[in-house]
Chain A
Amino acid sequence: MAAVTTSTERTLNKLAIAGVLIVTLIFLAPIYWIASTAFKPRNLSTTIPPTVVFTPEVSPFVKLFTKRSQLRSPPTPEEYAAAPWWERMVFDGGEKVVRDGKGNVQWSGYPSRFMNSLIVATISTILAVGMGTLTAYGFSRFKVKGEGDLLFFILSTRMLPPVVVAIPMFLMYRTFGLNDTHIGLIILYTAFNLSFSVWLMKGFMDEIPKEYEEAALVDGYTRMQAFFKVVLPEAATGIAATAVFCFITAWNEYAFALIMTNRRAQTAPPFIPSQVGSGLPDWTVIAAGTLLFLLPVAIFTFLLRNHLLRGVTFGAIRK
């Protein structure tokens, strides 16, 4: 925007700053609430008026990672004294840590679900972005018969509600034994993200001047070399932006994960709600699980934020 000159402009700008701050506060309030609940003692998580000042605790995280069961009688002083600090936290919450037949502490399902999410989201993102980049290049640089129709077809695969796709996929996976496997979920997420990735990457590819490659071809590169050595580095921003979007989608997907996975390949989104607690909801544990689950995407996005903003600007404007 032009330099602030008139006094009306200055007032307007101040109003805009105030407006932005208010909007930001409103938008961040629920996230702040999740983060603060993750460190609250359980009895402060549902108070009215809401508890804002409190001594933070890590007990929600201890609970998140352990298998616990409701105490039927308080622990004996000896038991309590012998317990390590984190187990005391669980005792204080009226629960005990469950130990397996060998006496080892049993983990909750959270770590394995988190791992599943990492595996599935990472691999499917790499596949979707990889294939999407190649295909976008193909569409951008070569004449393809019925290009418009093909692109519309590719986009249309993303319009379907997951449940619509899930019914036939469920039957197909049943035949091939792919239900509740990582591969099954990776295929689904790749297919789901591929259309988006092709569309977004095509915008970026169109932006890269074809003269660059032509120069490279003249310099003695093959078309393949020109693609990898000239085009790809130019498209890095776009690839990063696309990867963030694909990763977020795969990381947070719920419907497919709910229907297609069970114990072995279940990801975290359908799992976290199951930590509601057995007799009473323990919001602190849910908040802890949510917060940890948010971290990877938040970090990923933060690291790539410049690419993301610039990337979207680029790709979307001239599409």
Chain B
Amino acid sequence: MRKRLTGLLAGIGLSLACSTSVFAQELTIFWAEWDPANYLQELANEYEKETGVKVTVETTPWADFQTKAFTEFNAKGSAYDMVVGDSQWIGAASEAGHYVDLTEFFNKHKLNETMAPATVKYYAEYPSNSGKYWSVPAEGDAVGWSYRKDWFEDPKEMEAFKAKYGYDLAPPKTWKELRDIAEFFHRPDEKRYGIAIYTDNSYDGLVMGVENAIFSYGGELGDYATYKVDGIINSEKNVKALEVYKELYKFTPPGWAKTFFVENNQAITENLAAMSMNYFAFFPALVNEASNPNAKVTGFFANPAGPDGDQYAALGGQGISIVSYSENQEEAFKFLEWFVKDETQKKWADLGGYTCNKSVLESAEFQNATPYNKAFYDTMFKVKDFWATPEYAELLIQMNQRIYPYITGDQGTAKEALDNLAADWNATFKKYNRVQN
């Protein structure tokens, strides 16, 4: 009996192991677990209808996404034919040969002209201005904010706010206003809190949250061309930005020390916070009444400007790349040809994907499709991104190690944290011979 059972199980195992590679008419795309991945699956099902080629979108949580993708790449595994990879991976993945060079494909389809400039610059090209392309911009994304309209528009609140701060309560235009409003609504006794921000240090959550402050305060992470960081990452402006971010942390709901998009959406649905930072791609859940009881009273605004009027947001979003170890590269190219067609891009936007296609983005139809599409469109022209060098993962961990204890643990000062970070980064760049001293 036991023997038969073993044989049976081994048989199932074997057939499971084989079945995936036998049919060439199947493609697998790897992405993170979020709504756009489900939309992409729906889009891919259209492709199956047209061509008979089955495309499956496999997902993993954001926290593991990078690790999973790179363990697979570094194992030279063929589990995935395409990957919708983060923008900062492109240096590491292209230099190590994980991605297929798409330059020819890119030029042939003139994607330079049809896709929004920021998406080409950050998702597709590496090194900067080299004219070499590694992916097709697929999902544009950036950080925006959601807020509780009912709290903001309550006459009593408006009056009290005006009396305290001397100006009208409205969605903030500057980081100063953002801070004031967060402070105003922060009422722990009423179980109401001011603001929800990213603090998760396991991947790039916290770093992207801080980037929003840094970029809008007019700061930079470093000179991406010369790898100079000292005096840039620890500049006066960045110190201020980091201090503001830490101050915002005081106005967050309790237990806000490992939060990313899920928690930040929850802050709105569970009546925890007045405002919440999040990627645009996570907003569908907030306008859906079944998942957000406050859907009707949830509003959206773009990342506010800094003290000098700079207004930038941290870039999210991804491009689709073909994995070099895929056994179905030809089929993958066919899929991409279909994907970049204007009508596919339009369909993609209809399904809920954030197309990077300029003409679709500019259409009134797209901009009016949801309460936040307009804010998204505006933001996509003022985005900046993290380092995309092959050693970005180390840079990210170092940044988390330095700023996380400062923001959530109240350790040291912003200046110390950033000075130490500058030293860490400089040492890392020296190690990889990017800089000499």
Interface residues of A (CB under 8 A from B): 42-43, 46, 67-72, 92-95, 98-102, 106, 109, 112, 115-116, 118-119, 122-123, 126, 170, 173-174, 179-182, 258-259, 262-265, 270, 273-281
- Give the shortest distance, in Å, between B83 (CB) and chain A (any CB): 11
- Give the shortest distance, in Å, between B325 (CB) and chain A (any CB): 11
Q: Is the CB of A170 within 8 A of B75?
A: yes
Q: Is the CB of A101 within 8 A of B46?
A: yes
Q: Is the CB of A180 within 8 A of B72?
A: yes
Q: Is the CB of B261 within 8 A of A262?
A: no
CA distance A156 to B390 in the complex (A): 37
Q: Is the CB of B79 within 8 A of A67?
A: no
* Minimum CB distance partner of A46 in chain B: B270
CA distance A279 to B282 in the complex (A): 5
Q: Is B327 on the interface with A (CB-CB < 8 A)?
A: no
Contact with A along B240-275 (1 / 0, CB 8 A): 000000000000000000000110011001100000
Q: Within the complex, which residue of A69, A92, A264 is in contact with B16, where a contact is CB–CB below 8 Å?
A: A264
Q: Is the CB of A181 within 8 A of B59?
A: no
CA distance A97 to B323 in the complex (A): 29
* Minimum CB distance partner of A263 in chain B: B79
Q: Is the CB of A93 within 8 A of B290?
A: yes
Indicate whether A72 sits within 8 Å of B352 (C-beta atoms), given known contacts A98-B45, A119-B12.
yes
CA distance A83 to B282 in the complex (A): 27
- Give the shortest distance, in Å, between A77 (CB) and chain B (any CB): 16
Report B-chain residues with C-beta under 8 Å of the C-beta of A118: 9
Q: Is the CB of A112 within 8 A of B16?
A: yes
Indicate whether A170 sits within 8 Å of B45 (C-beta atoms), given known contacts A70-B38, A115-B12, A264-B16.
no
Q: Within the complex, which residue of B20, B28, B74, B262 is in contact with A280, where a contact is CB–CB below 8 Å?
A: B262
Q: List 13 A-B contacts (CB under 8 A).
A: A69-B352, A72-B352, A94-B291, A95-B290, A98-B45, A101-B48, A122-B5, A126-B6, A174-B76, A263-B28, A270-B64, A278-B282, A279-B286
Report A-chain residues with C-beta under 8 Å of the C-beta of B39: 69
Contact with A along B14-34 (1 / 0, CB 8 A): 001100100000001010011
Q: Is B158 on the interface with A (CB-CB < 8 A)?
A: no
Q: Within the complex, which residue of B13, B16, B34, B289 is in contact with A279, where a contact is CB–CB below 8 Å?
A: B34
- Size category of the B interface is 35 or more
Contact with A along B43-73 (1 / 0, CB 8 A): 0011111101010001111001001100110
Q: Is B293 on the interface with A (CB-CB < 8 A)?
A: yes
CA distance A116 to B19 in the complex (A): 14
Interface residues of B (CB under 8 A from A): 2, 5-6, 9-10, 12-13, 16-17, 20, 28, 30, 33-35, 37-39, 41-42, 45-50, 52, 54, 58-61, 64, 67-68, 71-72, 74-77, 79-80, 261-262, 265-266, 269-270, 282-286, 288-293, 351-352, 370
Indicate whether A101 sits within 8 Å of B52 (C-beta atoms), given known contacts A170-B71, A180-B77.
yes
Report B-chain residues with C-beta under 8 Å of the C-beta of A119: 9, 12-13, 16
Report A-chain residues with C-beta under 8 Å of the C-beta of B64: 258, 270, 274
Indicate whether A264 sits within 8 Å of B79 (C-beta atoms), given known contacts A94-B290, A276-B61.
yes
CA distance A93 to B285 in the complex (A): 11
Q: A174-B74, A274-B60, A281-B266 are in contact. List 10 more A-B contacts (CB 8 A).
A: A68-B38, A94-B290, A100-B54, A101-B47, A126-B2, A276-B33, A276-B262, A279-B265, A279-B284, A280-B291
Q: Is the CB of A93 within 8 A of B71?
A: no
Report B-chain residues with C-beta under 8 Å of the C-beta of A264: 16-17, 20, 79
Which of B34, B41, B60 has most A Cβ within 10 Å?
Answer: B60
- Give the shortest distance, in Å, between A92 (CB) and chain B (any CB): 7
Indicate whether A70 sits within 8 Å of B288 (C-beta atoms), given known contacts A101-B47, A279-B35.
yes
Q: Is the CB of B61 within 8 A of A123?
A: no
Report A-chain residues with C-beta under 8 Å of the C-beta of B75: 170, 173-174, 179-180
- Give the shortest distance, in Å, between B38 (CB) and chain A (any CB): 3
CA distance A278 to B36 in the complex (A): 9
Which 6 pairs from chain A and chain B are nearest by CB?
Answer: A94-B290, A101-B48, A279-B285, A69-B38, A179-B75, A101-B49
Q: Is the CB of A262 within 8 A of B38?
A: no
Report B-chain residues with C-beta under 8 Å of the C-beta of A43: 293
Q: Is the CB of A278 within 8 A of B33?
A: yes
Q: Is the CB of B48 within 8 A of A69?
A: no
* Minimum CB distance partner of A126 in chain B: B6
Which of A67, A93, A102, A263 has most B Cβ within 10 Å?
Answer: A263
- Give the shortest distance, in Å, between B61 (CB) and chain A (any CB): 5
Q: Within the complex, which residue of A115, A262, A273 is in contact with B61, where a contact is CB–CB below 8 Å?
A: A273
CA distance A102 to B47 in the complex (A): 11
Q: Is the CB of B288 within 8 A of A71?
A: yes
CA distance A265 to B14 in the complex (A): 11
Report B-chain residues with C-beta under 8 Å of the C-beta of A275: 33
* Minimum CB distance partner of B370 in chain A: A72
* Minimum CB distance partner of A179 in chain B: B75
Which of B35, B266, B286 has most A Cβ within 10 Å?
Answer: B35
Q: Is the CB of B58 within 8 A of A116?
A: no
Q: Is the CB of B77 within 8 A of A179?
A: yes
Q: Is the CB of B42 within 8 A of A180?
A: no
Indicate whether A67 sits within 8 Å of B288 (C-beta atoms), given known contacts A100-B48, A100-B54, A112-B16.
no
